Amino acid sequence: MNRTSANNPSANRLSAENVTLAYDQRVIAEHLSVEIPDNSFTVIVGPNACGKSTLLRALSRMLKPNQGRVLLDGQVIQSMPAKKVARTLGLLPQSSIAPDGITVGDLVGRGRYPHQGLLRQWSSEDERIVRESMSSTGVAELADRYVDELSGGQRQRVWIAMALAQQTPLLLLDEPTTYLDIQHQIDVLDLCAELHEQQGRTLVAVLHDLNHAARYATHLIALRDGSVIAEGAPSDIVTAELVEEVFGLRCQVIDDPETGTPLVVPAARQTRVAPAVGVADTSSTTEARDVRDGGDVKDAVNAAKGF
Amino acid sequence: MKAADNKTPRKKAVRDEDVRDEDVRDEAPRSQDSSARPFRARTVRARGGLSVRFDVRSFTVVALLLVAALAASVALIGTGDFPIPARDVLKSLLGNGDTGQEFIVNELRLPRVLVGLLVGASLGLGGALFQAISRNPLGSPDVLGLGQGSTAGALTVIVLFSGNAAEVTVGALVGGLATGLAIYVLAWKRGVHGYRLVLVGIGVSAIVTAVNGYLLTKADLVDAARAVVWMTGSLNGRDWPQVWPLLWLCAVLLPLVLGNARGLRMLEMGDDVAYALGVRVERTRMLLMLAAVLLTAAATAAAGPVSFVALTAPQLARRLTRSPGPNLMAAMCMGATLLIVADWASQRAFGADQLPVGVVTGVLGGVYLLWLLVTERKAGRI
């Protein structure tokens, strides 16, 4: 929880400086710089293959930048001990496998790994924090159930509980709502908002739904082709022009009747048949086609085609 | 391919109904064995922040398997052309027997049983490591072609150089290690992944099998007979020179492996989760794979490619402990028990040194594999 060894106390805890990100030879982003404001709920949006998951991987030190650096508390993240990073920065990845026959309590308990050692395997604090994490995500009553018996929404809450048990001030979430129905999407996002507001954690999430992003984010980063097109509070930056520029989609932006945040309403098909003026190049339309597949490999392949 | 595979559980689960409101206790009949506790393991805590966690069921399984392995060993020592009752075997082992029996027990039969125990334990542990790393029950050394690689090494020495027993052992060791290295290099692409490892292993296995076939056709009759006996996997005539290297290797590798077991357990949940939890994924995986290759190659060098122990022991152990996680100790003890029991069974049924132990484990393992495929198919996993 404490800020350790920050060279520059005014800087944000997590940032990417001028990074070039690539899978093998496929360059996803060049000279990209991003700051994650402390205590924000930052949401990264953009069309498929724009590099948003890749950016999240770089921020969580799973992808080493070819150039530039990712800084955590003023230190280059790759140079820090793995467990120390894991005590500061948590990640809920897209791909996670629940081992066969594991209970919810045991899975959430595995989130304590970075705080444990060979002779400190399960302290009473570990147990307390795991119970707290389960109750704050609403899975406490499922503690002795097997994870593979749970529904998708419950399962996602369990994985979030595991990330919470890690007790990191920073938490990154890679498409936490994918594959969930609308009720569970809102459920998970409400949970994130609570974690942000009540526990003061800095959250960074990649989301596909622009309206969810506008509703829940305190800070929005819009990416296209590996560059930041706009960033700031959603009410300041989400405009019809921005959506058209980032997603190549003509739309109206109105006030959300529930929250007053920007609400993106795509233009009717008839009015979109006429080619959009000067926007929507071929790459972004292909990328926007399949909203569901966000896998990194696919991202990389699509990006390679796009470039 | 990996990303798509890993997503399926979540995708599938979304279709299930949300059962949150229903009574949880009644809904979970499978939880009975964990007596409705959220955490399976028990914890022992000492002052100064020390705490050790263990799973009672796994612990019991390991203890029972150890007892079974030792009991089977005593029975095996007592079996042969000159049968010795269990009580006299124990007396002789402790140095209180009569001279004749002590000679038979300690000089003739003990080393062979020790080789059996060590080979079984190494294969069980190596298999558990491979299966955990590949996250696939088929990702075991038998299927990956490590046994075939050792065979190629041994055959080369037998057929091309007519080497003695010690040279054959070295050849088998080199063959196994080279195959392990080849599989690792070929399967490596930003980390070794389960399916790729299995597929590459099957490919390597096919190639090496072909080479072995070629070597056999080149051999003269005496060498070919010797080679075939070696290839079946047998404990016949194993003596102290086979015991010591295996014992030392196990003594070095076991602490190393167990020290990394917690990281391996995190790896079960996927590379990304393991990274996020602070596991040094590549380092852990490489270290454990190297240990597994060494264990398997050394065991194969000592007893020949005893089939299916590495495949079945971890799966049987897992079904007994009902615990997620690699179950390393249980798999190791299960391997030792399986091999000794198989050897004892073959001696009882067919007489001393008639049927190599590899034939028995092969038959048992084949039956087991079929059973596994059928039940997994019923469970909808294959």
pLDDT tens digits for A13-55? Answer: 999 999 999 988 889 999 999 999 999 999 999 998 899 999 9
pLDDT of residue B214 exceeding 90: yes
Residue A97 CA to residue B132 CA, distance in Å, equals 13
pLDDT at A274: 58
Which tokens go with B228? 């075939």
As a whole number, mean pLDDT of residues B111-130 equals: 95
Q: Is B44 left (phi over 0), alpha (psi -120 to 50) or beta?
A: beta
Mean of all residue pLDDT scores within chain B: 83
- Number of domains present in the structure of chain B: 1
Q: Which residues of B touch A123 (CB under 8 A)?
A: 45, 49, 51
Establish how many alpha carbons lie within 13 A of residue A85's alpha carbon, considering only the half-sphere containing its beta carbon. Answer: 26
B186 within some domain? yes
B52 within some domain? no
* Cross-strand pairs, A45: A222
Q: What percent of chain A has pLDDT over 70?
A: 85
Confidence of residue A262 (pLDDT cuts 50, 70, 90): very high
pLDDT of residue B10 exceeding 80: no
Q: What percent of chain A has pLDDT over 90?
A: 63
B48 within some domain? no
Confidence of residue B359 (pLDDT cuts 50, 70, 90): confident
Q: What is the DSSP letter of B156?
A: I
Residues 6+ apart with CB under 8 A from A65: A16, A19, A20, A21, A58
Task: Write out the H or E segment, with its range, that includes residue A69.
Answer: strand A67-72
pLDDT at A11: 78
As a whole number, mean pLDDT of residues B1-26 equals: 39
pLDDT at B188: 77
pLDDT at B25: 37
- Most B CBs within 10 Å, among A179, A183, A187, A299, to test the B interface: A179
- From B123's Cα to the closest Cα of chain A, the distance in A is 23
| Chain A nearest-CA residue for B43 | A122
Residue B278 CA to residue A96 CA, distance in Å, equals 15
pLDDT of residue B345 exceeding 90: no
- Strand A227-232 and strand A219-224: the pairing is antiparallel
Q: State the Cα angle at B344 between B342 and B345, rounded to 5°.
A: 65
Mean of all residue pLDDT scores within chain A: 85
Helices (H), B79-220: 86-93, 99-102, 110-134, 141-144, 146-155, 161, 165-187, 194-218
Q: Which domain holds residue B220?
A: 57-351+359-370
Does residue A94 sit at the B interface (CB-CB below 8 Å)?
A: yes
B16 within some domain? no
| Inter-chain CB proximity A122 and B51 less than 8 Å | yes
As a whole number, mean pLDDT of residues B325-336 equals: 92
As a whole number, mean pLDDT of residues B237-265 equals: 92
B49 within some domain? no
* Cross-strand pairs, A219: A42
3-state secondary structure of A38: coil
B5 within some domain? no
Residue B324 CA to residue B37 CA, distance in Å, equals 16
B44 within some domain? no
Residue B340 CA to residue B107 CA, distance in Å, equals 18
Task: Write out the H or E segment, with its range, that includes residue A170.
Answer: strand A170-174
B15 within some domain? no
- From A272's Cα to the closest Cα of chain B, the distance in A is 32
- Name the residue with higher pLDDT: A259 or B190: A259
Q: What is the CATH number of the domain that holds B69?
A: 1.10.3470.10
